[in-house]
Chain A
Amino acid sequence: MASGEKTVLQFGGSTSLNVKVHPLVIFNICDCYVRRPDQAERVIGTLLGSVLSDGTVDVRNSYAVPHNEFSDQVALDIEYHHNMLTSHQKVNPKEIIVGWYSTGFGVTGGSALIHEFYSREVANPVHVTVDTTFRNGEATIKAFVSVNLSLGDQSLAAQFQEIPAELRMSEAERVGYELLKSTAADKIPSDLEGMESTLERLLALIDDTYKYVDDVVENRVAHDNKIGRYLAEAVSSLPKLSPSAFDKLVNDSLQDQLLLVYLSSITRTQLSLAEKLNTAAQIL
């Protein structure tokens, strides 16, 4: 009974952990996998990041560590790992080891050994696996922590306990995300092109809303109170302004913008004029 309670307690402690992985880490892992040595089945490496106060492990960076795997042995290049760690710490001392990653589906035999090594580097490391072979038809990221199975005071074995993992993107990364996902993009969209695509999307959304409202009004689709409330909220979020006040507001901003354009254009004209005058002055 006592031992049972103990495992239950540890089980409860570990589930409060969850892992947030930044896309850069996934990119890095995939890149390392593509560049792996000929005979290697998988790549493994160190995960860097921080543990947030609410128990979330924020994985922000990673690097691959060369290794050799024989039937039941794993040789990890520890020196390489330490060199790389000091290099990374020089740039960003706030990122510490939080665990390690490996490609492949779930946990394999050698994993326990590697996990033991990382347990010596940092307390309670996480193990993230990325399935790059699409074994069951989808790419999955999984995260594990090790849980000690013990009977009384005697520890029997370590068990990998799965914990939730998700992809987290920062704002800046989102900006380029659509672009970065494709295999090839000819150019980076300029300000106006980005604006255009956004406007197109907005238009499509408005059209969808119109269609939905029309459908509901004409009884083609069953109404949904929730959606109705959202729509009402969206409409009421527009500030109520009298048409003249609104026109004034818009026109004033337009004037401001026009002034700015005028200013920058006149500056440019001045510059090219100065350029011409300069060259002309030197000829004399």
Chain B
Amino acid sequence: MANQAPAPIRSFLQAAVKPEEAPLPLRVVQIEGLAILKIIKHCKDFSPALVTGQLLGLDVGSVLEVTNCFPFPIREEDEELEAEGANYQLEMMRCLREVNVDNNTVGWYQSTLLGSYQTVELIETFMNYQENIRRCVCIIYDPSKSNQGVLALKALKLSDSFMELYRSNNFTGEKLREKNLTWVDIFEEIPIKVSNSPLISAVMTELETDSPVTQCDYDRLQLATTPYMERNLEFLVECMDDLSMENQKFQFYYRNLSRQQAQQQAWLQKRRAENMTRKAAGEEPLPEEDPSNPIFKPLPEPSRLDSFLITNQIGNYCNQINGVAGQNFSRLYLTKALHEN
């Protein structure tokens, strides 16, 4: 018995120490129904304006638990009001702590329009949060999708390799190739789990019994998805324009680069020929490099971040279009079958 006793203690210690040694990768985001409802309410009340809020919860091993959240007031571009916003945040956290809510910030949520969330601002916010919290997540909710019977909730985080690159602020082609980073690798989607306290589950089951048909079933069978598709395509076309702008920027850069290289070559040949004549005349050769010459100034390579983000958005729109079209197929075949019957 005496021999056995220390074993569990050690294992407990080991268990406690382990996360420090190697942080477990974040695998699942577990959200409480309360938080989801709060997010839905806030985003829907202010839709189509985009809103944000803070997520509160606990970081347990590879699971990030989101147990509560609170909304931020709509931001205004004013120094004074910004300070007030920070005060509001502190005040809210303090108040919620008093009623025993977990007051650990674990990230933030924001609403989006047709999934157009891949912006530089999002990445910046992420970096800000990441500085203070080791593990944070961003929940994206799309209120426009809910009237199609879909709960469009997504948990995102930035991939580690992307963050490293962003910190060094180095988005040249060479670096990206070194890291083997493509546009797909910027964001990582984390699976969402929903949990509720048994009390809530019991109360809600009691208060609202199951009905055979819900409104959401009607919404899902709705055939008129044309406006949604139209807007998706519009956004897609806009993104394509942006992308071609970005491409032009790169073409311009490459043209300049090759022109510069040609100039450098010409200069070098001239210098070599000059050196040959000097050598023949018995004089010291001139150096083959001249940093003061403007043609040797390296051209700044444009950042690839923008084009990456745009590509990400395009990919997203394509997915959405594909998804809705897929649903439409089943709807159409259903209508056909019903009609034939």
Contacts and interface: CB of A to CB of B under 8 A. Distances in A.
Contact of A182 (B194, B215, B216, B325): B194
Nearest to A246: B339
Contacts of A172: 40, 44, 143, 146-147
B321 A187 contact: no
B127 to A, nearest CB: 25
B183 A132 contact: no
A26 B207 contact: yes
Given A182-B194, A191-B324, A134 B329 contact: no
Contacts of A80: 95, 98
Given A37-B100, A185-B194, A90 B202 contact: no
A125 to B, nearest CB: 20
A114 interface: no
A174 B219 CA distance: 11
B231 interface: no
A32 B317 CA distance: 40
A24 B200 CA distance: 11
A31 B220 contact: no
B282 interface: no
B99 interface: yes
A264 B318 contact: yes
Interface in A92-137: 92, 130, 132, 134
B332 A254 contact: yes
Nearest to B218: A198
A282 B177 contact: yes
Interface stretch (A3-11, A150-158, A267-275): A267-275
B101 interface: yes
Interface string A43-67: 1000000000000000011011010
A90 B73 contact: yes
Interface residues of B, number: 89
A175 B100 contact: no
A271 B45 CA distance: 36
Chain B, interface SS category = helix
Which of B147, B183, B196, B322: most chain A Cβ within 10 A?
Answer: B196
A35 B95 CA distance: 14
Given A31-B200, A175-B216, A192-B327, A180 B36 contact: yes
A170 B44 CA distance: 10
Interface string B176-205: 010000110000000111111111111111
A178 B327 CA distance: 21
B93 to A, nearest CB: 10
Contact of B212 (A26, A169, A201, A260): A201
7 contacts: A26-B203, A27-B34, A30-B199, A188-B194, A201-B213, A205-B213, A238-B338
Interface of B: 32-34, 36-38, 40-42, 44-45, 68, 71-73, 88, 91-92, 95, 98-101, 143, 146-147, 149-151, 153, 173-174, 177, 182-183, 191-208, 212-217, 219-221, 229, 233, 236, 240, 254, 311, 314-315, 317-319, 321-330, 332, 334-336, 338-339
Given A92-B45, A184-B196, A185-B195, 12 more contacts: A26-B200, A27-B34, A87-B88, A91-B72, A132-B199, A175-B146, A185-B193, A191-B327, A250-B335, A254-B332, A264-B236, A279-B177
